[in-house]
Copies of this chain bind each other. A is one copy, B any other.
Amino acid sequence: MIKNKMGNQTLDFSRRPVILGAASVVGKKEGEGPLSQWFDTVLEEDTFGEKTWEKSESKMLKTAMMEALQKSGRSKEDIGAMLSGDLLNQLMSSSFMARDLHIPFLGMYGACSTMTESLMLGSVLTDGQYSDNVIIGASSHYCTAERQFRMPLEHGNQRPPSAQWTATAAGAMVISSGKKEEEAMIADDEGNTKTPAVVKVCCGTIGKVIDAGIKDANQMGAAMAPAAVDTLLNHFADTGRKINYYDLILTGDLGYIGKDIAKDLLVDAGLPKKEVESRYDDCGAMIYAKEQDVHGGGSGCGCSASVFSSYIYKRMQRGELHKVLIVSTGALLSTISPFQGESIPGIAHAISLEIGQEER
Contact = CB atoms under 8 A, between A and B. Distances in A.
A78 B1 contact: yes
Interface in A103-132: 103-111, 117, 120-121, 124-125, 127-132
A107 B349 CA distance: 12
Interface string A306-347: 000000000000000000000000001111110010100101
Contacts of A244: none
Given A5-B131, A88-B334, A89-B335, A106 B206 contact: yes
A55 to B, nearest CB: 7
Contact of A125 (B1, B110, B124): B124
B340 A52 contact: yes
A80 interface: yes
Q: How many copies of this protein are present in the complex? A: 2
B208 A90 contact: no
B337 A54 contact: yes
A3 interface: yes
A128 to B, nearest CB: 3
Q: Contact size class for A?
A: 35 or more
A108 B109 contact: yes
A130 B78 contact: no
A333 B96 CA distance: 10
A345 B131 contact: no
Contact of A130 (B5, B88, B104): B5
Given A55-B340, A99-B210, 5 more contacts: A3-B77, A54-B334, A106-B121, A107-B332, A108-B109
Interface of A: 1-5, 9, 11-12, 51-52, 54-55, 77-81, 85, 88-92, 95-96, 98-99, 102-111, 117, 120-121, 124-125, 127-133, 206-211, 332-337, 340, 342, 345, 347, 349
